[in-house]
Amino acid sequence: MIIHQDYPLQSLNTFGVQQYAKQFGIVQSLENIHQALVLDPNPFIIGGGSNILLTKNPDGLVLKNELKGKSILTEMDETIIVRLMSGENWHECVQWAVSHGWGGIENLSLIPGTVGAAPMQNIGAYGAEIKDVLIEVAAMDLQEEKEVIFSNRGCKFGYRDSIFKNPEYRGKYFITSIVLELSKHPVANAKYADIEKKLTEKNITHPTIEDIHHAVIEVRQYKLPDPAIIGNAGSFFKNPIISIEQFEKLKSIKHDAIHYPVDATHVKVPAGWLIDQAGWKGKTIGRVGCFERQALVIVNRGSATGEEIWKFAELVKNDVFEKFDIHIEPEINIW
């Protein structure tokens, strides 16, 4: 593995923030991980760079994950078990599954990044989450330098959360592959309002997973800016889950407050709606702003630094709390 010195990271993060790695290498095999640990026992790991905000130069070795491979492990009458290596592009894996008629991840189309980020973030969209189809995660324990297998339960999935984001475990593992169970006779999930609307526009009454796949792509392309054109990391904040009592308080301020039931005592409120209601949609300060079509997306409108973007995000977060008494937390990882 070749190690580069003072390597520019601007092209390796979707915010387009310019920071430099003191040392940088590309992981294309498990052996490369062992080689890297000789140089730095606590490396920074980058996949697609779509879920990070670099606010400073990483102190140590930065590794770009390019572990590749897609394979079928077991095929049964109703389901198929597949392994995806963690450096594969996530959307390309969705396309691969849909092209074979295997259902379960089509609602997660066009989510940027690599496969390795999928369990870390418990990626989700339009009524689906990776935890719904994931069997296990294989990871390299960077301290013990041995493979560890996490079951679905062992991943401790939460809303855009997993054991890998827990401070106790963060940076301890290099996710190498995941195993998914997909359906060979899938039933399309079109319950999300935006997807229903898109299918209605196309006069599709009995959608296939391919119909869902294309509908999700169209909705996301309209709502979310292309990082190749304007720097962003997609949804910046998590949708907050609040108590019924908190929601009643919100309704006293905003009678048309949007919410989705979580359980008997909690609801989820769209962070984008809160940010929009606070007046931030389309607003720009300096070189940073909220996207015009989706307030949840913070964009780099020029050559903003990571610190500028984070300061803007904190202004948004604090203003939402002051106006609605609701905390919104970042979905992305702040470096």
Mind telling me the catalytic residues?
A: 160, 235, 331
Beta carbons of 309 and 233 less than 8 angstroms apart = no
Q: How far apart are CA 102 and CA 208, in angstroms?
A: 11
Amino acid identity of residue 43, one-letter, is: P
Q: 37-45, long-range: CB within 8 Å, 24+ apart, which pairs? A: 37/142, 37/145, 39/3, 41/142, 41/143, 42/142, 42/171, 43/142, 44/171, 44/335, 45/116, 45/171, 45/174
**Helix segments in 108-153, DSSP class H:** 117-121
Relative orientation angle of helices 306-324 and 244-253, to the nearest 10 degrees:
90
Give Cα separations from 295 to 282, 321, 333 (angstroms). 7, 16, 19
Q: Which helix (H) or strand (E) holds 36?
A: helix 30-39
